[in-house]
Structure formats: structure tokens, C-alpha cells
Amino acid sequence: MSQLILARHEAEDPKASMRIVKALKGLETKIGLKWKDTGATRLAEGTELHNEALSAALEQKLISDAALRFTWADFEQFGLRDGSVTSNCFIRVGSKFFQPSETDADDPFGLNTFGLKWEEVGSTGPVAGTEIVHPGLAAALQHKTEFGPTEFDNFGLRDVTPYSFIKVGDKFFQPAEDHLSQAAAGMAILMFRASTRD
């Protein structure tokens, strides 16, 4: 992000980079991108959400043992209005209840998620990029393509980018595109807001 801010600063008004930094600091985190299991007992306080799309998406993640996380694009598909999901909301999924979870302290906007979701890109390696050689990740990708932050941290990989790839058997995998789009969309919105302020 600092490179984008610097590029914006060099290309235009010197005050633009400061407005972008202020926009980044002031941007509110979207509640509902990350969820936690609160058990089989209905919560005594809070607002119960009734949203079939969100409930089905959480149930699917439970079945596939995936992290209970969504991208901004996923969240938009649930048809929930901004502000309709708060930290005291909860939703029933089967016999359990779930509540929004706090975001990661080191990534409040959900932008640094490369490596949490992977997609198969074929049996020929990408023409450009950096190959990751990691037997643990390769073994895990044989069974699933989505990981929680803590689970992925356990692999010890710190430099995964959109251009990273890994060979798993006779196929290759790369970080999924939706995270790239999410980061690009988030930055575009911030730059637009910052450029239109007085």
C-alpha cells in the first residue's frame, strides 16, 4: 500500500498522500467478514440475523473445514445492508450459533490475505512468478484450498504474493483471485474518497 500512496503522491498533488493515509486510518472495518462459533445455546442478548445466504455459506465452510471468513465480495452477495451486522448480532447455523469475530489486529481491512485461499491453475506452472517449495502446504492443498490465519501462519510462510505458486502433485496452485480483487477494490475506494475531500 505504501507504494500505491507514494505513486499517487508523485503523480499528483503532494497533499493527496496525506489524505489517503488519513482515509486508511479512518476507514471502519466491515463487521461480518469473520465469524466465530458460540455454541449450541442461543445467546441471551443481541440481535438474531435471519439470512439464508449467510447461514448457508457458514454451513458450507463448516462442512469443508474452511476458515469462517469472507471477502467483501462474498459479503455483498448476502444482501445485507451496511450497518445491519453489528458485533452483538448472531445467526443460527444448524444447531449452533455464530457471532461476528474481531478482525486481525495486523490486518484490520482484510487486505493481507494472500495464502488463505488457493486455486488450481493447471498442470503447467505459471510463466512468471515465484515458486514456493513447501511440503507441508503442498500436502494440505491436496485436501483443501482455504485456511484460517492461524492455520496458515503455522506453515511459516511470510512472503506469499499474488504471483506465488506451488506444485501439488502434477498440478499448480496460486492464491485465489478474489483476494487480489478485494485489495484492489478497497484501495480504489480509499483513493477516490481521499481525492474528493477538501
Would you tell me how many other CB atoms lie within 10 Å of the CB of residue 98? 22
Q: What's residue 196's pLDDT?
A: 58
**Helix intervals (H) in the chain:** 2-11, 16-26, 52-63, 72-77, 135-141, 149-153, 177-195
> Whole-model pTM?
0.45
The grid coordinates listed for 179 are 483476494
Q: Which of 184, 74, 171 is nearest to 119 (CA)?
A: 171
Can you give the pLDDT at residue 103? 54
The tens-digit pLDDT sequence of the chain (198 residues) is 444 444 444 445 555 555 555 444 444 456 787 888 999 998 888 889 899 999 999 998 888 777 788 777 677 788 877 667 888 889 999 999 999 886 544 444 444 567 888 999 999 888 778 888 999 999 999 999 988 777 787 888 767 777 889 999 999 999 886 544 445 545 554 555 555 555
| Helix or strand (DSSP H, E) at 167 | strand 164-168
Assigned C-alpha cell, 164: 506465488
Give pLDDT, residue 52: 92
Query: Which of these, 86, 94, 104, 84, lies nearest to 37 by C-alpha position?
Result: 94
pLDDT of residue 64: 78
Cα separation of 151 and 177, whole Å? 20
Locus of grid cell 475506494 = 189
Which residues, including other chains, have CB under 8 Å from residue 3's CB and lie 6 or more apart? none
Burial 31-56 (b: 16+ CB within 10 A, else e): bbbbbeebeeeeeeeeeebebeebbe
**Per-domain residue ranges of the chain:** 2-27+180-195, 35-100, 118-175
Q: What is the pLDDT of residue 33?
A: 79
